[in-house]
Amino acid sequence: MGKPTGFMEYKREVSQAAGPKERIKNFNEFHEHLPEEKQRQQGARCMECGVPFCQSGMNLCGMTSGCPLHNLVPEWNDLVYMGNWEQAYQRLKKTNSFPEFTSRVCPALCEAACTCGLNGDAVATKENEYAIIEKAYAGGYAGAKPPKTRTGKRVAVIGSGPAGLAAADQLNKRGHSVTVYERSDRVGGLLMYGIPNMKLEKGIVERKIKIMEEEGVTFLTGMDVGRDVKAEELLKDYHRVVLACGSSNPRDIDAPGRDAKGIYFAVDFLKANTKSLLDSGFADGNYVNTKGKNVVIIGGGDTGNDCVGTAMRHGCKSVVQIEMMPKAPDRRTEDNPWPEWPKVCKTDYGQEEAIAVFGHDPRIYESTVKEFLKDKNGNLKGVRIVRLIWEKDGKTGRMNRKEVPGSEKVLPADVALIAAGFLGCQKYVADAFQAELDGRTNVKTTENGYETSAKNVFAAGDMRRGQSLVVWAIREGREAARAVDESLMGYSNLMV
């Protein structure tokens, strides 16, 4: 512990975001990060706890507390303070395949479990992670490191999201020959088309993909396995196959008027927006333009917020985000103590932007869609919503929702975006390999393992566990890689 009194001497400081009205003028990342001296002070704030909850990744009351990757947080925080950036990078990379992604899009489970947060402000661990990886690129020591020997084993990875990339990266480092199949026109899956550019600029994804290619990983785009590419051919050409296609079946809204023109799934809206931005800077018009339109977003999660931020950048006339659940408290309650994940209200970047422009929070809580209203041409013109109340069932203890009589109201809407979550993987890929699904329509694997019911076929990420965080997908990919390696070699020296 290089600075025993650091947590008392220095206050928490993080990167500063551009003002909401300024940053909505483009789709670029919008944070100004700390200079090195300030960043090292943030590293000094780490207490190097005897029991570092920040790296525990344990389940508390149904939620994850600490980093699922078990990142060696106290070690590299101290190395940041000491100015030993290259060693900090080596320790960070021991457990995290892609800190360039997690330092931008992870909700920082590590910080929520930080001991400093018990009686003050958590260590700025996510900021330190960003500084470590970006200094590594600037210093040249994050470059390609191809394996010195090859095993002669071939592995196909289906899907190039965070789980597929993590599996491919680890298996390639072991010396196996890895080919990644991606059905889209660009590599990255969720990282490329599911997360907007202002949260994760796509040049960051492409930078890492280029390094993986230099290390020997082969990427094939426009290859839809299960349709354009037969599963039998892959099973014949490769020793093992890893399915990492995500949880990409969006949950729909069953309400009258659902067939109105102007209703889109959030995932399709965000993908088209990013693709048009990258292809032509929106010149091709192949996206849903919300400029001057009333936008209603159904769903209060991160995807819904991304839709708010995207609509704001297009110049929407108004934006409303509908959330079924009650508003979370602004501070921890007594029944949600540290180091549990704090169940508190979070106002994210898109909502901040809507507040700055329109003067009020775009979220309407405890409400749901009753009907989509159409004009005479079948175009969406409004959304009828109704208030909800939640009551506990005395027998089961479950919370049930009920509509509040007389609480209906109509919101003007030219565009409605459904961001209500996902319902498992797309079945055709699993069917192509004859891999069984579980009750939640995710690919079924061995207990606490990654092997599917199909011989030599493994699964990882959202396709196996359901919709989750990027950091969980990376862990799944790394653990699946180890399982594949053990099946091929009889043992594995891959770290998870």
pLDDT by residue (tens digit) across 317-361? 999 999 999 999 999 999 999 999 999 999 999 999 999 999 999
**Residue 392 included in any domain:** yes
Residues 315 and 368 in one domain: yes
How many residues are given for the chain? Answer: 496
> What pairing do the DSSP bridges indicate for beta strands 415-418 and 263-265?
parallel
**Residue 257 included in any domain:** no
- Nearest alpha carbon to residue 181 among 203, 150, 154: 154
**Residue 146 included in any domain:** no
Residues 166 and 189 in one domain: yes
Number of domains in the chain: 3
Residues 15 and 51 in one domain: yes
**Residue 256 included in any domain:** no
Cα–Cα distance measured from residue 121 to residue 110, given in angstroms and rounded to the nearest whole number: 13
| Local structure of 494: helix, strand or coil | coil
What is the DSSP-derived secondary structure letter of residue 192? I
Q: What pLDDT does residue 438 have?
A: 94
Q: What pLDDT does residue 213 have?
A: 98
Q: Could you tell me the CATH number of the domain that includes residue 196?
A: 3.50.50.60
Q: Are 485 and 492 in contact (CB under 8 A)?
A: yes
Q: How far is CA 267 from CA 41, 130, 245, 271, in A?
A: 40, 27, 14, 6
Choose the final residue of a domain: 418, 436, 469: 418
Residue type, 84: N
Cα–Cα distance measured from residue 184 to residue 178, given in angstroms and rounded to the nearest whole number: 18
Residues 433 and 401 in one domain: no
Q: What pLDDT does residue 290 have?
A: 98
Residues 412 and 276 in one domain: yes
Residue 90 CB: number of other CB atoms within 10 A? Answer: 16
- Containing H/E element for 59? strand 58-60
Q: What pLDDT does residue 54 have?
A: 96
Query: How far, rounded to the nearest angstrom, does the alpha carbon of residue 474 sit from its chain's CA centroid?
Result: 10
Residues 292 and 375 in one domain: yes
Q: Are 274 and 196 in contact (CB under 8 A)?
A: yes
**Residue 255 included in any domain:** no
Alpha-carbon dihedral sign for residues 234, 235, 239, 244: positive
Residues 402 and 268 in one domain: yes
Cα–Cα distance measured from residue 247 to residue 389, given in angstroms and rounded to the nearest whole number: 30
- Nearest alpha carbon to residue 97 among 224, 182, 191: 191
From first CA to last CA, the distance across the chain in angstroms is: 25
Q: Could you tell me the CATH number of the domain that includes residue 53?
A: 1.10.1060.10
Choose the final residue of a domain: 383, 418, 453: 418
Cβ-count burial 389-414 (b if 16+ within 10 Å, e if not):
eeeeeeeeeeeeeeeeeeeeeebbbb
**Residue 337 included in any domain:** yes
Choose the final residue of a domain: 418, 446, 472: 418
Residues 401 and 282 in one domain: yes
**Residue 495 included in any domain:** no
> What pairing do the DSSP bridges indicate for beta strands 218-221 and 177-182?
parallel
Backbone angles phi, psi at 85, to 5 degrees: -70, -40
The low-confidence residues of the chain, meaning pLDDT below 70, are 1
Residues 373 and 285 in one domain: yes
Cα–Cα distance measured from residue 248 to residue 186, given in angstroms and rounded to the nearest whole number: 17
Cα–Cα distance measured from residue 431 to residue 452, given in angstroms and rounded to the nearest whole number: 12
Residue type, 130: Y
Name residue, tokens 């080596």.
90
Q: What pLDDT does residue 342 have?
A: 94
Residues 274 and 397 in one domain: yes
Residues 185 and 87 in one domain: no
Alpha helix (H) residue ranges in 315-413: 349-358
Residues 91 and 105 in one domain: yes
Q: What pLDDT does residue 394 have?
A: 83
Q: Residue 267: give the domain boundaries.
A: 263-418
Q: Are 380 and 372 in contact (CB under 8 A)?
A: yes
| Residue 474: exposure state from Cβ atoms within 10 A (0-12, 13-18, ≥19) | buried
**Residue 39 included in any domain:** yes
Cα–Cα distance measured from residue 123 to residue 71, given in angstroms and rounded to the nearest whole number: 14
